Chain A
Amino acid sequence: MKTLRRIGLYAGLTLAALTFIYPFLWMASSTFKPPSEVGTLALIPDQITLDNYRTMWARAPFGRALVNSTLVATTITLAVLVLGSMTAYAMARLQFRGRPALNAATLAVLLVPGQLTLIPLYTLIVQLGWIDMYAALIVPYLFNATAILMLRQFFLQIPQSLIDAARMDGMSELRILFTIFWPLSKPVLSIVAIFTFMGSWNEVLWPLLVVRDQQLMTLPQLLTVFALGGGAGSVGVSLASAMVLVVPVVIAYMFLQRNFIESMAGAGIKG
């Protein structure tokens, strides 16, 4: 009996897993199908064609969008790690006036829903003259409250003795942070890096607000504009553009899925 239940369990799990993976497989295979075959159930097309990709690449600046997304996501991730660590270090290990207030403010920021500040942030960007500039995409994300709280939590646990010894050696606070704390913080740093990068890579509403110039659009944004504006003209082409966004993520995910899960689940619960 137990084996029957086991088989039933694995069958159920396989079916469930299929519903999660199959749509992506179908999407991938559709991008290689000619228009006559798109929409068929077959996973392997009768005629494999690269036309969808060629059309997509020619119709909208996807290469440029890939560069934009990479640039923006990488810059934001590095900034969040470096600037966030500096802030978290100060908040965890240095006594200064206003520290409790800063703590409370960070927690409060997490409580405010994004929709409240969306329009004022947009008008601020307009007034700063940053529309259609990288600054609009990057600067509002330089500091991340969730990241700072996570890093602060971790930094609180590092023994004071290490800091005292380093200070006696004459090290500056920044040196202590980057030469002592950072090597010890690899797990939390990688968690922060992943959820920050993924958040930025997938972000679409904010770029839709502050970027109009196609040359500056990020990948998910260009993909949305392309699919909605009818530029795709066919299912195969719009799915091909989606693949450009998804494939790097899936590849990274296949190798790092444990880190991804730990990171995004952890950040989601805290945030």
Chain B
Amino acid sequence: MRRNTLKTTWHERFYDFYPLYLASSGGRTLVVDGKVVFENDAAVAALEVLRRGFAEGVLPRSNFALGRDPFTDGTVAMKIIGPWFLKELNELRIRGLHYDVTPVPAADGTDPDNRFAFADLRSIAIFSTTRHPDAAARFVAYLTSPAADRLLIEEASQLPYRRGLASDPRFAAALERWPTLATYATYVERARDIDVDPDVVEIFDLLSEAYEEAAVYGKVPVRQALARAAAEARNIVNAR
């Protein structure tokens, strides 16, 4: 009997389908210029590897919502996660836990230099109604300066969205602060966020449905589930 406590909220795809898809898609996202572009082999490969994982019992069927992290307590061996997790791991200092970092696996035949990663990018904005535009501008300049970026790396184990970060001597020392962070840094130029599209949440919902039926429950073949998600996504995007 399948015991499932997975809740497939749309943003959970940031930790399974989307990174696996980006690794093989050569940087192609989900919807570009109002066109649905995710019905391709990379998406099939991503869903297929997830399907096999669930079918063979190697992927956990729980959200582990009640405060437990399955990676830190040794239940699972691998986890798709961002660099901010390094600080957490370091602080927890779990005895006997040795870890390393590897890029998200890609489909066979993907060019290693063309593998992309998912980055949940954060922006800085100044409101046009601000009463202190100069001070705000100077503060933003500071926040994006090398000094502030070094602070970001050292204090939060997060990465600035900076070209050439991995090979930039100004940041080499900061990156050393956290083990394996340098590996993350090599992907900064090859990072993709979610599309800035009004229907992106709904498209992630559609993909979650495909994920559930094809990968988690294995009720529908991967290509069919993907085709249906793409068709419904096209309906939505074309109705705009």
Docked complex: A194-217 residues within 8 A CB-CB of B: none
Q: For the complex, give the distance between the alpha carbons of A61 and B65 in Å.
A: 22
A234 surroundings in chain B (CB, below 8 A): 66
Closest CB-CB distance, B109 to chain A, in whole Å? 40
B65 surroundings in chain A (CB, below 8 A): 230
- Decide if A39 is an interface residue (CB 8 Å cutoff): no
What does the 1/0 interface line of B36-69 toward A look like (CB < 8 Å)? 0000000000000000000000000000011100
- Decide if A8 is an interface residue (CB 8 Å cutoff): no
Docked complex: A212-271 residues within 8 A CB-CB of B: 230, 233-234
Docked complex: B145-167 residues within 8 A CB-CB of A: none
Q: For the complex, give the distance between the alpha carbons of A233 and B66 in Å.
A: 5
A233 surroundings in chain B (CB, below 8 A): 66-67
Q: For the complex, give the distance between the alpha carbons of A234 and B67 in Å.
A: 9
Closest CB-CB distance, B168 to chain A, in whole Å? 39
Q: For the complex, give the distance between the alpha carbons of A230 and B9 in Å.
A: 14
Q: For the complex, give the distance between the alpha carbons of A64 and B65 in Å.
A: 27
A230 surroundings in chain B (CB, below 8 A): 65
The B interface is mostly helix, strand or loop, or mixed, namely: loop
What does the 1/0 interface line of B64-79 toward A look like (CB < 8 Å)? 0111000000000000
Report the nearest B residue to A35, measured CB to CB. Answer: B66
Q: For the complex, give the distance between the alpha carbons of A182 and B66 in Å.
A: 54
Q: For the complex, give the distance between the alpha carbons of A202 and B156 in Å.
A: 44
Q: For the complex, give the distance between the alpha carbons of A244 and B214 in Å.
A: 42
Report the nearest B residue to A232, measured CB to CB. Answer: B66
Docked complex: A81-123 residues within 8 A CB-CB of B: none
Q: For the complex, give the distance between the alpha carbons of A156 and B74 in Å.
A: 74
Closest CB-CB distance, A229 to chain B, in whole Å? 10
Q: For the complex, give the distance between the alpha carbons of A230 and B5 in Å.
A: 14
Q: For the complex, give the distance between the alpha carbons of A230 and B67 in Å.
A: 9
Q: For the complex, give the distance between the alpha carbons of A234 and B66 in Å.
A: 7
Closest CB-CB distance, B72 to chain A, in whole Å? 17
Report the nearest B residue to A235, measured CB to CB. Answer: B66
Q: For the complex, give the distance between the alpha carbons of A233 and B68 in Å.
A: 10
Q: For the complex, give the distance between the alpha carbons of A146 and B65 in Å.
A: 43
Docked complex: B63-105 residues within 8 A CB-CB of A: 65-67
B66 surroundings in chain A (CB, below 8 A): 233-234
Report the nearest A residue to B65, measured CB to CB. Answer: A230
B67 surroundings in chain A (CB, below 8 A): 233
Q: For the complex, give the distance between the alpha carbons of A234 and B65 in Å.
A: 10
Q: For the complex, give the distance between the alpha carbons of A230 and B66 in Å.
A: 8
Closest CB-CB distance, A97 to chain B, in whole Å? 47
Q: For the complex, give the distance between the alpha carbons of A18 and B19 in Å.
A: 51
Q: For the complex, give the distance between the alpha carbons of A58 and B122 in Å.
A: 31
Closest CB-CB distance, B66 to chain A, in whole Å? 6
Report the nearest A residue to B7, measured CB to CB. Answer: A228
Q: For the complex, give the distance between the alpha carbons of A233 and B67 in Å.
A: 7
Closest CB-CB distance, A5 to chain B, in whole Å? 41
Q: For the complex, give the distance between the alpha carbons of A68 and B65 in Å.
A: 30
Report the nearest A residue to B63, measured CB to CB. Answer: A230
Q: For the complex, give the distance between the alpha carbons of A30 and B66 in Å.
A: 17
Q: For the complex, give the distance between the alpha carbons of A230 and B65 in Å.
A: 7
Closest CB-CB distance, B68 to chain A, in whole Å? 11
Q: For the complex, give the distance between the alpha carbons of A167 and B74 in Å.
A: 84
Q: For the complex, give the distance between the alpha carbons of A239 and B104 in Å.
A: 40
Closest CB-CB distance, A84 to chain B, in whole Å? 42
Q: For the complex, give the distance between the alpha carbons of A222 and B66 in Å.
A: 19
Closest CB-CB distance, A82 to chain B, in whole Å? 43
Closest CB-CB distance, A237 to chain B, in whole Å? 11
Closest CB-CB distance, A232 to chain B, in whole Å? 9
Closest CB-CB distance, A230 to chain B, in whole Å? 6
Docked complex: A132-147 residues within 8 A CB-CB of B: none
Closest CB-CB distance, A34 to chain B, in whole Å? 15
Q: For the complex, give the distance between the alpha carbons of A81 and B130 in Å.
A: 48
Report the nearest B residue to A230, measured CB to CB. Answer: B65
Closest CB-CB distance, A183 to chain B, in whole Å? 55
Closest CB-CB distance, A48 to chain B, in whole Å? 22
Docked complex: A13-72 residues within 8 A CB-CB of B: none
Q: For the complex, give the distance between the alpha carbons of A86 and B164 in Å.
A: 75
Chosen A-B contacts, 4 in total, with CB atoms closer than 8 Å, are: A230-B65, A233-B66, A233-B67, A234-B66
Residues on B close to A: CB < 8 A?
65-67
Query: What 4 pairs between A and B have smallest CB-CB spacing?
Result: A230-B65, A233-B67, A233-B66, A234-B66
Residues on A close to B: CB < 8 A?
230, 233-234
